[in-house]
Structure 1
Amino acid sequence: MYARCALIASLFLAVFGPASEAQAAAARGSVLACRDQADIKRAFRPASDKAAKDDPAFFRGRLQSGHCVQLMRDQKVDVDQRDGSLWCVRPSGALDCFWTLDRAIDLYPAPPPRPGEQPPRKKG
């Protein structure tokens, strides 16, 4: 009996115990994130690129199909992977990871204001 309880406890700790490598963060503003790295590279290429003229229609389709998502300002995300300036983030509660630019993610967002407390004013 004791061995069974120990086995169940060790399995529970193995599944839920170790901290995830994901890091809590938040989107700095409204930004596009896509499941495929190639899509996000295409989204952030220079507008002067001649092939960029078809991008708005392409990304509307990607958003509608769920291959890309629009992250909103201060939306909580977990950083799952990093590949240079591209980070794969998972919106809180979501199962899928979406690639976006590293500078679109704030790793250390300010805590939410307490009830009755005024949020700090943004400089600028």
Structure 2
Amino acid sequence: MLIKMLDGGILNYADDNYFYDGCPTCDYGSEYINEIDITLVHHTIHIKTNQMYEYVLSEGQMIRLFLTEYDVIRTMTEKEFTDWLKAKLIEITHDEFEENFCGRIIEEFKVTEVK
């Protein structure tokens, strides 16, 4: 287990980044996509972001988030963690939005119960 929580924990983290080119001269219309899958004991979380010109999230941002908040995460239930993670990602993308006219978009934040 990567991080133990009150009623479960994080079992696995996987991410993938890919892009589609836009205009050959200015890259307008490009798509830079992050997909993150987090496996918990009782839930899975799928996150997808999409933005023009650059990726919304980096691996470094996610590592810093989990490491700096490690002690906080350990005191949460899985439900509290999913709510907290969604709020943190909105906070991260909102802060960046202030500096980026393209906007940073969380396209998907899907939580599924493991049966």
TM-score (norm 2): 0.23
More strand by share: 2
